[in-house]
Structure 1
């Protein structure tokens, strides 16, 4: 999906029940030898004798059919280990002082096994702040305060489960500059908040496992079009969420959101107090293995492959969508649009 979009997901094939038809009693087989029976009865008798062999054959065919189906439709999470990784377009980090995710996950099994997110840190441990240094006309203390506010907002927006299910988004909105809050409220009214916040769809249930997080934070100083000095902070993260639900292949229950957000903190000496604080500039995002109907409303739920369209032909390397350096210019399959600067 594109900062506009989001992605696919596969149907589940029921396996045949292990039981076979009832065995026919001996007197029926005796009748077969002594009298002429109709075709339907002959078929029933023949099936009774060969049920086990037939069921074994049917089971084998269903397994082959399942593998064949997952080839084209479930490519995202069913790639064979021997399949070589394919190249995909990436982006370069923006200029400035930066830090990337450094924490390591616990070596335990869980719903992220078989996906790149298994190697990501858990929750807020994946958000590593760069060192706060005096930059431009911003002091080290001002930079530190801004970075801390942004990290807190990220945790609320993407990891706070109470926020994900709360009807009122003010817990996040009040962390922005007062003058910017009306625009953020509009985003929640229109469903455009999926670029920067996670809200669960009705009925969607996360597993107890913490989301896995990996990414980078970079900052620099710039001047906006009116000459205001601005600390510009770019956050680029992949957020992987494990949902309840049936799964056929590794990662079937994992929804992925990749966002790149440009945060702007004006110098307090250049603006009135109501404009001081956090602002959003550009916002871009895509989702993978998400429910598009929910995501179009800004809500997150794991997708159903049968309702999705492949991102491209040939299909991209499934692991690539977990890479924070993956370009956000991916084909639109859900309809999420980029947010322009200053929106």
Structure 2
């Protein structure tokens, strides 16, 4: 049940993929953004802001990114964002002024379905499977000790024994970001509890080997607050939107080592993420590239779990 992986992009002379350099030649910023970045970072080369982790084919993994200036700044011209215009009550802390301002803290914004008998699974089996996925999600995206630590062990325990080597291999690569959050050791989260919004669905299927399998799909937007001394406000917001297909084969249909949780398909994009860090599986706030233009759509739309995972630009 180990997912296949696509061939890696060819690296350029500096070690980064060719598509990274192609994008840098394609986009240019407005003068206001350029001046702000130059003043903050001086002559230092600025890193790209946003990261996209994009699925390339069923059962495989891929990686793309896009750019954005530091979060929590109003659009050019001083107009308030849609979040600021429509919010009825200011949110405390780092999420004020974003669409996550009114979201419940932690996992409360995720909608979980009722467990019912489905395609060869009893209601009790469905309930147990959903509980396993929920535990894995909360470790991967919301457990602060795990996210700021340097060990995959807390996450590995949620997976089938035969699936754990895949997670270990993903640990220091961009792929880990499609289903787990690793905070870069050189940055700090704010005390604010992350926000989440999304929904879970499930169905019973037969896998390629004929085993009855509970397939659970999570589609969730996760929003984190970071201390960020390089930003105007001293803090930044990072958004990650993932869609993960989890599989749990029925215990009686597979060997013992295959019993448990598997990753079948994953895709993700990020907003406000540093591209260099994400290449190593780490998350930190990013800065806009001096040659980047405005993002081609309203960034507030990225907070919607219904937004397509595939984005028009990448780093």
TM-score bracket for the superposition, by shorter chain length: 0.7 to 0.9
Residue from 100, 117, 129 that aligns with 1:134: 117
Distance 2:125 2:172 in 1: 32
Unaligned residue ranges in structure 1 (runs of 5+): 13-65, 73-77, 86-105, 335-343
Equivalent residue for 1:300?
283
Distance 1:256 1:206 in 2: 13
Q: Counterpart in 2 of 1:71?
A: 76
Alignment partner, residue 323 of structure 1: 304
Which whole-Å deviations, capped at 9, do the CAs of 1:88-129 have from their partners, x for residues lacking one? xxxxxxxxxxxxxxxxxx974221111111121111222332
Count of equivalent residues: 250
* Post-superposition offset of 1:301: 0.7
* CA distance in 1 between partners of 2:124 and 2:239 (Å): 34
Cα deviation, residue 174, structure 1: 1.6
Cα deviations across residues 186-217 of structure 1 (Å, max 9, x unaligned)?
11143421100000112111000001100010
Give 1:175's aligned residue: 158
Tell me: CA distance 1:215–1:263, structure 2 relative to 1, closer, same or farther (3 Å).
same
Q: Helix, strand or coil for the counterpart of 2:204?
A: strand
- Contact conserved, 1:146 with 1:265, CA < 8 A, in 2? yes
Q: Is the 8 A contact 2:68 2:272 kept in 1?
A: yes
Q: Normalised by the size of structure 1, how large is the TM-score? A: 0.67
Who wins on radius of gyration, i.e. which is larger?
A: 1
Quickly say closer, same or farther: Cα 1:268–1:213, change in 2 above 3 A: same
Rounded to whole Å, the distance in 2 between the matches of 1:291 and 1:202 is 13
* 8 A contact 2:172–2:280 mirrored in 1: no
Question: Conserved in 2, the CA contact under 8 Å of 1:7 and 1:288?
Answer: yes
Q: Answer yes or no: is the 8 Å Cα contact 2:90–2:97 preserved in 1.
A: no
Comparing 212-221 and 158-167, the one that deviates more: 158-167
Give the equivalent residue in structure 2 for 1:75. none
Name the structure 2 match of 1:20: none
User: 1:183: Cα distance to partner?
Assistant: 1.1
Quote the residue 2:8 is aligned against: none
Aligned-pair RMSD on alpha carbons? 2.8
SS at match of 2:118: coil
Cα distance in 1 for residues equivalent to 2:290 and 2:278: 13
The alpha-carbon distance between structure 1 residues 108 and 2, as it changes in their structure 2 partners (threshold 3 A), is closer
User: What's the offset of the Cα at 1:271?
Assistant: 0.3
Report if the CA contact (8 A) 2:247-2:263 is conserved. yes
Match for residue 6 of structure 1? 65
2:245 maps to 262
Q: Secondary structure at the match of 2:171?
A: helix
Task: Indicate the SS of the match to 1:241.
Answer: strand
Give 1:29's aligned residue. Answer: none
TM score, norm. by length of structure 2: 0.72
CA contact (8 A) 1:289 1:303 kept: yes
Alignment of 1:118-157 (within 5 A): 118-157=101-140
Distance 1:112 1:178, change over 3 A: same
d(CA) in 1 for partners of 2:82 and 2:242? 30
Q: Is the 8 A contact 2:214 2:247 kept in 1?
A: yes
Q: Where do 5+ consecutive residues of structure 2 fail to align?
A: 1-51, 55-62
**Structure 2: how far apart are the matches of 1:329 and 1:255?**
18
Separation in 2 of the partners of 1:326 and 1:79?
A: 23
For 2:297 and 2:106, locate their aligned partners in 1 and report how far apart those are by CA, in whole Å.
27
- Partner of 2:215 in structure 1? 232
